């Protein structure tokens, strides 16, 4: 499914987004729009000019990160698991199961994940960066997820939404749930804040 084009003008300045950013853990039962989902995915890992470069920096442009969307309540988008295709700004549906409760359980029962309309999971294929940088790659990939996480935080603020970086989860359980070999590094539930 091709996504709506991202906007590069927002309602607030980057300074306002930085100063209002907080981790938000209580979400309203209000759907996100497809435009909001698309904007968040683009902020996380979309492409920008020059062609092929991305919204977040990457060591040697090795781009080890992949974004998965666990959708529960997003307009025009049925519940399920999706993978974001950076190259053509589209979503590929991987499963039609609403995984939010099971994802919350894998995250040690952090129920904000089951109440949020959406969670973004940032996962890494370390080999892409290890091939170039050897043991330094572990540090680089972990640095990169911080960049992506901050983009999601600031994009949420600019859209009037909230998120929380969740690092406490059982890695193998998340991998099994998403059916991925990549290593999940962050779960970021997103929604309108209560
Ligand atoms: C690496 C990392 C892991 C985190 N994991 C969790 C988590 O599992 N659950 C949670 O509620 N918050 C988590 N947080 C959010 C922090 O608790 C939060 O950033 C901190 O309390 C400061 O609050 P602020 O983000 O509103 O400034 C995590 C933050 C980071 C940077």
What is the distance in A from the centroid of ligand 1 to the CA of 168?
A: 9
Residues in the chain: 194
CATH number, domain containing residue 166: 3.40.109.10
Structural domain total, the chain: 1
**Residue 173 domain-assigned?**
yes
Q: What pLDDT does 51 receive?
A: 82
Residue with CA closest to ligand 1 atom 19: 23
**66 found inside a domain:** yes
Kindly report, residue by residue over 116-128, the tens digit of the pLDDT: 999 999 999 999 9
Mean local confidence (pLDDT), 46-56: 93
Cβ neighbour number for residue 132 with a 10 Å cutoff: 15
pLDDT tens by residue, 128-156: 999 999 999 999 999 999 999 999 999 99
Please indicate, yes or no, if residue 147 is contained in any of the structural domains.
Answer: yes
Phi and psi at 184, nearest 5°, equal: -70, 135
* Domain of residue 109, residue span: 14-191
In a domain, 116, yes or no: yes
Question: Residue 27 domain-assigned?
Answer: yes
Atom of ligand 1 nearest to the CA of 187: 8
Q: Does 31 reside within a domain?
A: yes
For the segment 61-66, the average pLDDT, to the nearest whole number, is 98
pTM, whole model, 2 decimals? 0.98
Q: Which residue, among 8, 13, 83, has the nearest Cα to 49 in the 3D structure?
A: 8
The arithmetic mean of pLDDT across residues 80-94, rounded, is 98
């Amino acid at each position: 499914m091709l996504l709506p084009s991202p906007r590069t003008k927002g309602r607030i300045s980057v300074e306002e987004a930085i100063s209002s950013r907080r981790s938000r853990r209580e979400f309203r039962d209000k759907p996100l729009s497809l435009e909001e989902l698309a904007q968040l995915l683009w902020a996380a890992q979309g492409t920008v000019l020059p062609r092929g470069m991305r919204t977040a920096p990457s060591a040697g442009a090795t781009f080890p990160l992949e974004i998965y969307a666990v959708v529960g309540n997003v307009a025009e988008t049925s519940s399920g698991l999706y993978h974001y295709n950076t190259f053509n700004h589209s979503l590929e549906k991987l499963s039609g199961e609403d995984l939010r409760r099971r994802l919350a359980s894998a995250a040690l029962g952090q129920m904000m994940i089951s109440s949020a309309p959406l969670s973004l999971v940032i996962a890494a294929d370390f080999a892409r960066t290890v091939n170039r940088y050897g043991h330094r790659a572990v540090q680089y990939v972990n640095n990169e997820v911080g960049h992506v996480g901050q983009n999601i935080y600031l994009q949420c603020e600019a859209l009037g939404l909230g998120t929380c970086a969740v690092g406490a989860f059982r890695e193998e359980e998340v991998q099994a749930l998403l059916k991925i070999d990549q290593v999940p590094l962050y779960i970021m539930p997103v929604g309108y804040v209560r």
